Structure 1
């Protein structure tokens, strides 16, 4: 039997980005996420003047992060509460070359803003990845059976 929680986090760890937005606004934007499975949180580094940061400046908002990665075989719609964070230790931990490309003064740049998405639930489709997909399609053509596309499940955090 598949441990769905482990499968979800393991595959999400290997995916670099998705589309993030607050639920009250249908606009999703591409964002790199950083997983913290121990506490059920996704972290994001953005700029204070972005629409996304401004949308949670007055307080936490319901939000959604959507990931799609055929190579890792994970497709997920992840819901949670998005808020601003001033956790400098977490920013130090997450800071990397990609993040530094966006901020002239590095992590000391006054425009750097850390976002925290506390997960509440996720709907997940986990497949065997792109090679398994091709195999299942070919197998279905030979056997006449429907292809096995993997697991579909929901998680509550």
Structure 2
């Protein structure tokens, strides 16, 4: 599979995901994972989320911006490794704001506490699922025959 094909696979899985899981290092040095609503993106190497400036998450990300973002859908899963950037860009917040944003964040897109979080990814590890039925058949086949089941493609791509 070419790098372009791999990036397309990663993009499809990410676009099919509604809620991603952002993992970061807390100010106490612990790994913390939190659900984040998936926003649209042009390239999987740069993704965006909305969050509240006053959150402990943002304070931790400003101290240590290393993150992992996990996406899972019927198409497979993706694990992005990268760096978080807190953006005070009001125009970006307005562009990303939708009805679901208002359900999880107080105020509206004009609220100065609502900010954009940009993730610049360096790598994406992915597993492309062959589909639920095929995966189930392969899993049972592996159990019955003691052979390694074919559960889809797995690789890492540089973004």
Question: Is the 1:136–1:149 Cα contact (8 Å) retained in structure 2?
Answer: yes
The answer to whether the 8 A contact 1:46-1:115 is kept is yes
CA 1:64–1:25: 2 relative to 1, 3 Å: farther
**CA RMSD of superposed structures (Å):** 2.4
Q: TM-score, normalised by structure 1?
A: 0.83
1:21-71 CA distance string (max 9 Å, x none): 22564111111222423372111111112111112345x7111112233x2
Q: 1:62-141 counterparts in 2 under 5 A? A: 62-69=66-73, 71-72=74-75, 74-140=76-142
Distance 2:135 2:35 in 1: 26
TM-score normalised by length of structure 2: 0.82
Instruction: State the alpha-carbon separation in 2 of the partners of residues 136 and 88 from structure 1.
Output: 49
How many residue pairs get aligned? The number is: 154
Report if aligned partners of 1:103, 1:109 keep a CA contact under 8 Å in 2.
no
Which position in structure 1 is the counterpart of 2:17? 15
In structure 2, the gaps of 5 or more residues are none
Distance 1:127 1:57, change over 3 A: same
Any stretches of 5+ residues in structure 1 without a counterpart?
none
